[in-house]
Amino acid sequence: MAGLRVQTLIFVLVTALAILDRTFVEANFDKNFIVTWGKHHIGTTNGNLRLVLDKSAGSAIRSKVAHLFGTVEMLIKLVPGNSAGTVAAYYMSSTGTAHDEIDFEFLGNSTGEPYTIHTNIFAKGKGDREQQFKPWFNPTNGFHNYTIHWNPSEVVWFVDGTPIRVFRNYEKEGIAYPNKQGMKVFASLWSADDWATQGGRVKTNWTQAPFVAEGRKYKARACLWQGPVSIKQCADPTIKSNWWTSPSFSQLTRTQLDRMQKIRSGFMIYDYCKDTNRFKGVIPPECSKRQF
């Protein structure tokens, strides 16, 4: 009996470790990310990430592994002072012309003017789904949590635990949804002064360089992408480690909805669904669907 109990315990521990390995990554930026450009403009110290931009180059990293469904989060401190023309990006993306992508981008501004929190989503290569917000806090004087939650039912963008946007799955009605491609996680700092600040009217002041953004405590509680087999495995609600498939994650709670509506009512500055001129009166089909 003692031997049987030991064998059972070993089986449970091995199973638990396998589940943890498949669903959880606690960031060590040196271990779990690679530099994609600006090698000499990136620093990692004591688990923290430092992205630098000057006139010679910006900087960017990406995760070594891809995920399909789950949650990724990072604490980010944006460029302080005159950040006009700079863009700090934190997003998930697959590859190819029909790629999927879920974005947070932070558009800098002149000293004293607020950042713009820019969100977007691509499914099978189609984007143009921007929603933008002014922050209700100072994103440069401390670290704030930015989370992307993604499951077979919906994508939710969170800031400091408050949802600010939802994109629901209406694939059965002909609206593309990102559910068949693993996505890696990216972070970058670069100059886009042709469009980033007040439509490009305010340019980057390079005398203020170097510009620095910081990240820490990246976590991925998500399904590891292992190729096409993951399309079914990561969406299977009978697999206990697929916590994101629980019905409780298919819809925001009443409290979450109330908090989100306050942010959207008070701080949203652009919604593609309301830009009739841009789409010449033909609003994208998901805009007429319930998202919350």
Name the residues annotated as catalytic. Answer: 101, 105
- Which residues sit opposite 68 in a β-bridge? none
- How many Å apart are CA 252 and CA 255, to the nearest integer? 8
Cβ(170)–Cβ(83) below 8 Å: no
- How many Å apart are CA 144 and CA 73, to the nearest integer? 10
Query: DSSP for 229-270?
Result: HHHHHTT-TTSTT-GGGSGGGSS--HHHHHHHHHHHHHHEEE
- CA-wise closest residue to 148 among 80, 93, 228, 107: 93
Residue in the block written with tokens 């592994």? 65
Beta pairing, strands 86-93 & 42-45? unpaired
